[in-house]
A = this chain, B = another copy of it.
Amino acid sequence: MSEKTMRDAINEALHQAMAEDESVFIIGEDVAGCNGAPSGKVGEVGGVFGVTSGIYKEFGPDRCIDTPISESAIVGAAAGAALVGMRPVAEIMFADFIGVCMDQIVNQMGKFRYMFGGKSKCPAVIRFASGGGFSAAGQHSQSMYQVMTAFPGLKVVIPANAYDAKGLLLQAIKDDDPVLFFEPKALYQEVCEVPDEMYTIPFGEAAFLREGDDVTVVAFGQMVNRAVAAIDALESEGVSCDLIDPRTSSPLDEGAILESVEATGRLVVVDESPPRCGLTADIAALAADRAFHSLKAPVKQVCAPHSPTPFSPELEAAYIPSVERIQSTIKQLLA
């Protein structure tokens, strides 16, 4: 057990999974790096975020595979290898690039099991860096997991800390269904205690991060820390909240959310995606149906506005939900 960044926790999970199971390999753009390059330093890069660093050196060219810039082919290659028994972990760099490989994710990988009458397995994991916070503007800042949650057949994971990231990724690799693994890139450098051994966190089990009586807060990914900060700051004002991080948006731990809302009667859902057809609406609607009789106040969504992510740091700061907005929304419910 030691403090690790989320980047290192994911890297460790990959190393361990690959050491344990020969059928695991990684594939993506520059996951090794320097292929074909005059320096000869193949493997020196480990992905543009450094998440796969060291893997080429440990596992060699058959298990750490660089590709051209061809995301559809990357996902397809993962899907095809998985159909014949491998356990690929593909990296698609930025979640926004789902745009160029959506068919392979949604219509192919995600549907085989059902369309083939339950007779196939496609244990592929696709990793993405998601979300805002880098002034990376409209095409490099989207969370995208909410959109993928809409598609049956795909499991969708959004770790909010290094500990969860490791356990959820190890689970994802063992899972026999395709798993989309969204790494909030704003959290790569965040640290927490992470066991050195392998462990898994089951899908569909939410994490309870705070317990309280007044309001249930459900938050995803990058928003979890902000929700923690908002809730902790409100403690002094005598407000206490449940904080739930579902960790996997599909399967979703409906029970955990409903139980909490039944107890508190108030719900705030926080995500960094825009408002329409997103996870905040999804979970608000869940409560409005199945916890309706417990609700004492409007169900609130705290999310980005309905616009692309702006470039300018000031604009992006206004775009992504802040601790203050979460806090004031909670207070509004109690007013």
Contact = CB atoms under 8 A, between A and B. Distances in A.
A96 B102 contact: no
A228 B115 CA distance: 32
A277 interface: yes
A153 B298 contact: no
A270 interface: no
A306 interface: yes
A118 to B, nearest CB: 11
Interface string A100-125: 10111111001100110000000000
A102 B107 CA distance: 12
A111 B276 contact: no
Given A277-B146, A285-B282, A308 B138 contact: no
A250 interface: yes
A96 B274 CA distance: 23
Contacts of A77: none
Contact of A307 (B153, B273, B301): B153
Contacts of A281: 277, 281-282, 284-286
A31 interface: no
Interface stretch (A6-14, A162-170, A205-213, A289-297): A289-297
Contacts of A97: 103
A131 interface: no
Nearest to A280: B285
A308 B111 CA distance: 7
A278 interface: yes
B278 A289 contact: no
Interface in A261-286: 273-274, 276-282, 284-286
A299 interface: yes
A114 B308 contact: yes
A152 interface: yes
Contacts of A111: 138-139, 308
A141 to B, nearest CB: 11
Contact of A103 (B99, B152, B153): B99
B274 A277 contact: no
A243 interface: no
- Sorted nearest first, the 8 A-B pairs with minimum C-beta distance are A99-B103, A288-B288, A284-B285, A292-B298, A281-B285, A288-B299, A150-B277, A102-B102
A334 interface: no
Contacts of A105: 99
A292 B333 CA distance: 12
B100 A96 contact: no
A308 B153 contact: yes
Q: Which residue, of A105, A107, A300, has the highest number of chain B Cβ atoms within 10 A?
A: A107
